Structure 1
Amino acid sequence: MITTNSQSGTNVAEIADGVYRINTPVMLPGDAGGFSFNQYLIVDDAPLLFHTGPRKMFALVREAVASVMDPATLRYLAFSHVEADECGSLNEWLAIAPDAAPLCGTVAAMVSITDLADRAPVALADEQAVRLGRHTVRWFDTPHLPHAWECGFLMEERTSTLLCGDLFTQGGATLPPLTTSDILGPSESFRLSMDYFSHTRNADAMFERLAALEPTTLACMHGSAWSGDGAALLRALAQSVHQ
């Protein structure tokens, strides 16, 4: 792990071959444990950043990306759904990366990004793949899982890394970049304190489809990324959400 900004604590770590977690810890009012925001950078012929980070964190994330590669050469700016921490600095990235385009699901493109973004998005249909070079990402629609009609996730097929957005969100500001320890317990404790799942009736089928991908790395947006039997962990989360 390399700290790229000593004031904010922003840091970068490679969690899979060519896949980097960019992490910024934050302290929240009244919360001694803190929180964190992650972005994931896939370095390849056509580099991809998953989550742009909030607009106010743009300089920190850009600095972190620059420690790995030239930010101006980014090709895709992807995200799970439309929220400030997922795509808040999208236009700032488009301004510094002339060949970059937003990459999102068809619903996000239709209802938000075609209007919000300064450059036209690449809208992915369910299960559509994009080859980045050695890496390939495939989009999976997950409407309302955990929330938002336009929600979806990217699976990086070469490293079996599921860019899983808000699934398995863990509180805390000092968690390791990658862990094999339990994240279901901490993430469910966090969810139950402020339930942000929509509890869509289609959740079971979507969880099972993600589990069938058999990811070995789960790239979580908040907290540690996780290494292990992703299929089993996704099925365990599905069961826990029902309780």
Structure 2
Amino acid sequence: MITNSQSGTNVHEIAEGIYRINTPIRLPDGARFSFNQYLVVDEDPLLFHTGPRKLFPVVSEAIGHVLPLERLRYVGLSHVEADECGSMNEFLAIAPRAVPLCGQIAAMVSMNDLADRAPRAMADGELLVLGRHAMRWFDTPHVPHAWECGLMMEESTRTFFCGDLFTQPGSGEAALTEADILAPSEAFRRPMDYFAHAPSTSATLNRLASEEPKTLACMHGSAWRGDGSSLLRELAHAVTTSA
């Protein structure tokens, strides 16, 4: 469903009760790129990633096609960056029950100061029940980057909110794909390499693989469905051998 004909912003359900909000953009060099946010519809709805502040009008419009904005309960982020939480305070202003959702390090170093409402700080492995859905938090420091980085898994659908992992170029026209995303994401990563390449990178990716995700909710490009464990292990190998 296209929710804004000018921006091309669109909404698609990628797993039961989980919606991808996608906005295609042009980079300064003319190349296509995209920003995705993920909305979990439940008793306590969760938005993961806000998008940059300049996209707030079209992202909030898209959410409004799925549920009333004021129902939002959690506004989550992997780490502190514009496309993760650029319009955090705009969402908090429009949703009176909403609080930021992040890891304990992000709360300590940034969100306690940047956000207009105190965050819910998640511990590694902690489970947050939204209703029918339950979200588990994983601390992933420096994976792919930022000390405070963390990622989430929805338990019942095995949907992994994988942030900047598997970032793909292009507009992400396919909301959900089973085609190869590792090759294009690695081709995009290598020239500007935005991975931190910490000593624990491989172990962190393999830990995530052990959770057996079935859907990868990528922040840039298409979401992906398949054997997420194998794909994460392939990424661990690719990142380790190219460092």
Q: State the TM-score, normalizing by the size of structure 1.
A: 0.98
Deviations 1:57-80, CA, capped at 9 Å, x for gaps: 001000000000001100000010
**Is residue 2:202 matched to residue 1:213?**
no
**Is residue 2:95 matched to residue 1:103?**
no
Corresponding residue number in structure 2 for 1:162? 160
Partner Cα separation in structure 1 for residue 101 and residue 233 of structure 2: 28
**Is residue 2:60 matched to residue 1:54?**
no
Partner Cα separation in structure 1 for residue 193 and residue 172 of structure 2: 23
State how 1:69-218 maps to structure 2 within 5 Å.
69-218=67-216
Give the Å deviation of 1:30.
Answer: 1.6
Instruction: Indicate the RMSD between aligned Cα atoms, in angstroms.
Output: 0.6
Partner Cα separation in structure 2 for residue 181 and residue 61 of structure 1: 26
Partner Cα separation in structure 1 for residue 199 and residue 187 of structure 2: 22
Partner Cα separation in structure 1 for residue 196 and residue 40 of structure 2: 29
Give the counterpart letter for 2:22 in structure 1: N
Q: Is the 8 Å Cα contact of residues 172 and 222 (structure 2) preserved in structure 1? A: no
Give the Å deviation of 1:204.
Answer: 1.4
**Is residue 2:6 matched to residue 1:7?**
yes
Partner Cα separation in structure 2 for residue 23 and residue 69 of structure 1: 16
Give the Å deviation of 1:208.
Answer: 1.1
Partner Cα separation in structure 1 for residue 36 and residue 100 of structure 2: 18
Partner Cα separation in structure 1 for residue 174 and residue 189 of structure 2: 20
Q: Give the unaligned 5+ runs of structure 2.
A: none
Give the Å deviation of 1:173.
Answer: 1.4
Partner Cα separation in structure 1 for residue 190 and residue 143 of structure 2: 15
Give the Å deviation of 1:242.
Answer: 1.6
Partner SS, residue 9 of structure 1: coil
Partner Cα separation in structure 1 for residue 29 and residue 110 of structure 2: 33
**Deviating 4+ runs (over 4 angstroms):** none
Partner SS, residue 4 of structure 1: coil
Give the Å deviation of 1:174.
Answer: 4.6
Partner SS, residue 6 of structure 2: coil
Corresponding residue number in structure 2 for 1:228? 226
